[in-house]
């Protein structure tokens, strides 16, 4: 009989699938491991939140852990996991050395979520009003930390094919350390579109996004100051509803009902809101990874208008479910066209179904993922022998991070 394998996930935060795409992705991963017989423990140093998912409903044990505290060593020795999944590189920095020291045989996986150094470098270039170049990444402080974390792990999940290319071409990472894993959803058919609200039943433009994420705040500012006035000029009755978790005061101040610009706050059910909207607007100017809001729009049969960065690595060579443009005038024009033209709108819907099935099909990726992890479990030694840079970094990080953490722990006790 096969022995049950233990998976420990160490989370940066507790999953909030209704607040962010990152929360949704984590629940997708949990579901895949659960269906393949893993016994899962989810640990995090984060405080509980009102909107975190109840992990026990998914059969996952929840454990609170502390940063810079040797109590984690006792916890992981007792748990003795076969696989450890770090949620974002910052968590690997904090706990990776402890895992390596106390459970050296455990397979170490990293879910990058998106390339933080890419998002940071693009944001910097945007704020400095210059064009982002790939070589900008090489001077990013966060890149050095993030790449070191990828090298220390046995396998890193990369959500975007564009980011896979960057890691191989710019940072020269061995492809054996990288695993392409986009968002994973169920297959759709055009029959599914018939169950959704019809063109004539839908109302309003919508934007949705977590406001703790800087690109989302920037997008809403851009909508309010630049794009929305162009839409209102040509379509005076237009209404835009902006939803998002954790809106700050500066976000709430953009609420302007007389101008058809509504800040709605957190969405009780994002899916329901997007399903009843006519067009999603997402003029994203910097960021990285894949945009969960745009995949959700496709699943809800809601066409979208976005930018090159918004659609980046999201649709293979297939036609977008709406329009992609970086030109503000054209953005407004296409948004209005999609809103009024039923034939155009329905074709965009069908494009979305094709993208979902081609690029994000759960069955296409989940079996291969588990096979890759089982392969690592069966032969981790030779895999690690081929990753000399990783073992070198592991050696030095273990020493430096270990003594820094022990110094902090001692300081906290005094």
Predicted confidence (pLDDT) per residue in 90-104, tens digit: 999 999 999 999 999
What's CA 165's distance to the chain center, in Å? 18
> In this structure, is residue 120 part of a structural domain?
yes
The whole-angstrom separation of Cα 339 and Cα 308 is 21
Q: Is the pLDDT of residue 252 over 60?
A: yes
Q: Is the pLDDT of residue 414 over 80?
A: no
> In this structure, is residue 206 part of a structural domain?
yes
The whole-angstrom separation of Cα 397 and Cα 90 is 13
> In this structure, is residue 281 part of a structural domain?
yes
Q: With pLDDT > 70 as the criterion, what percentage of the chain qualifies?
A: 97
Regarding whether 209 and 172 lie in a shared domain, the answer is no
Regarding whether 258 and 197 lie in a shared domain, the answer is yes
Regarding whether 224 and 105 lie in a shared domain, the answer is no
The whole-angstrom separation of Cα 51 and Cα 262 is 23
**Domain-ending residue, one of 331, 359, 387:** 359
Q: Is the pLDDT of residue 44 over 60?
A: yes
Q: Given its phi and psi angles, is residue 260 left (phi above 0), alpha (psi -120 to 50 degrees) or beta?
A: left
Regarding whether 171 and 229 lie in a shared domain, the answer is no
Regarding whether 68 and 114 lie in a shared domain, the answer is yes
Sheet of strand 261-265: strand arrangement:
261-265, 240-243, 205-208, 279-282, 304-306, 322-324
Regarding whether 156 and 27 lie in a shared domain, the answer is yes
Burial 152-170, CB ≥16 within 10 A → b, else e: bbbbbbbbbbbbbebbeeb
Cβ atoms 12, 86 nearer than 8 A: no
Q: Is the pLDDT of residue 1 over 50?
A: no
* Residue 397 banded pLDDT, cuts 50, 70, 90: low
**Domain-ending residue, one of 359, 384, 399:** 359
Regarding whether 153 and 26 lie in a shared domain, the answer is yes
**Domain-ending residue, one of 314, 343, 359:** 359
> In this structure, is residue 405 part of a structural domain?
yes
Regarding whether 140 and 70 lie in a shared domain, the answer is yes
In this prediction, residues 160-167 reach a mean pLDDT of 97
Q: With pLDDT > 90 as the criterion, what percentage of the chain qualifies?
A: 87
In this prediction, residues 363-390 reach a mean pLDDT of 90
Regarding whether 79 and 50 lie in a shared domain, the answer is yes
Regarding whether 220 and 157 lie in a shared domain, the answer is no
> In this structure, is residue 177 part of a structural domain?
yes
> In this structure, is residue 1 part of a structural domain?
no
> In this structure, is residue 404 part of a structural domain?
yes
Regarding whether 148 and 26 lie in a shared domain, the answer is yes
> In this structure, is residue 327 part of a structural domain?
yes
The tokens for 52 are 């975190």
- Alpha helix segments (H runs only) across 52-159: 71-79, 89-102, 116-127, 141-152
Number of domains in the chain: 2
Regarding whether 354 and 370 lie in a shared domain, the answer is no
pLDDT of res. 395: 67
CATH assignment of the domain containing 65: 3.40.50.2000
The whole-angstrom separation of Cα 126 and Cα 215 is 11
Which range of residues forms the domain containing residue 26? 6-184+362-413
């Amino acid at each position: 009989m096969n022995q049950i394998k233990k998976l420990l996930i160490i989370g940066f935060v507790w999953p909030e699938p209704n607040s962010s795409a990152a929360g949704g992705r984590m629940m997708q991963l949990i579901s895949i491991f659960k269906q393949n017989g893993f016994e899962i423990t989810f640990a995090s140093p984060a405080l509980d939140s009102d909107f975190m998912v109840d992990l026990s409903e998914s059969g996952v044990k929840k454990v609170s852990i502390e940063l810079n505290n040797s109590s984690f060593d006792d916890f992981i020795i007792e748990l003795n996991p076969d696989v450890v999944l770090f949620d974002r590189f910052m968590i690997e920095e904090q706990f990776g050395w402890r895992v390596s020291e106390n459970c050296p045989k455990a397979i170490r996986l990293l879910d990058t979520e998106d390339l933080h150094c890419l998002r940071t470098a693009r944001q910097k270039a945007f704020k400095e009003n210059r064009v982002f170049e790939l070589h900008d990444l090489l001077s990013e402080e966060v890149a050095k930390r993030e790449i070191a974390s990828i090298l220390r792990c046995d396998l890193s999940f990369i959500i975007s094919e564009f980011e896979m290319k960057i890691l191989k071409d710019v940072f020269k990472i061995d492809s054996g350390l990288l695993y392409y894993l986009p968002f994973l959803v169920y297959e759709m058919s055009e029959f599914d579109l018939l169950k959704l609200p019809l063109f004539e039943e839908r109302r309003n433009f919508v934007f949705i996004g977590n406001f703790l994420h800087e690109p989302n705040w920037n997008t809403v500012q851009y909508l309010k100051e630049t794009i929305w006035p162009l839409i209102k000029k040509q379509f005076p009755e237009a209404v835009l509803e902006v939803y998002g978790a954790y809106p700050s005061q500066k976000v709430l101040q953009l609420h302007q009902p007389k101008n058809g610009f509504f800040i709605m706050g957190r969405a009780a059910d994002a899916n329901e809101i997007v399903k009843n909207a006519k067009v999603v607007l997402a003029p994203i100017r910097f960021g990285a990874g894949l945009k969960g809001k745009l995949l959700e729009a496709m699943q809800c049969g809601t066409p979208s208008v976005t930018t090159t960065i918004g659609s980046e690595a999201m649709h293979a060579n297939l036609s977008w479910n709406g329009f992609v443009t970086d030109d503000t005038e054209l953005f407004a024009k296409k948004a209005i066209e999609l809103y009024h033209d039923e034939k155009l709108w329905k074709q965009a819907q069908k494009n979305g179904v094709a993208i979902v099935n081609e690029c994000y099909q759960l069955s296409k990726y989940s079996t291969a993922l588990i096979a890759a992890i089982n392969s690592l479990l069966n032969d981790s030694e030779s895999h690690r022998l081929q990753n000399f840079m990783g073992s070198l970094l592991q050696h030095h990080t273990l020493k430096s991070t270990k003594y820094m953490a022990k110094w902090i722990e001692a300081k906290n006790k005094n």
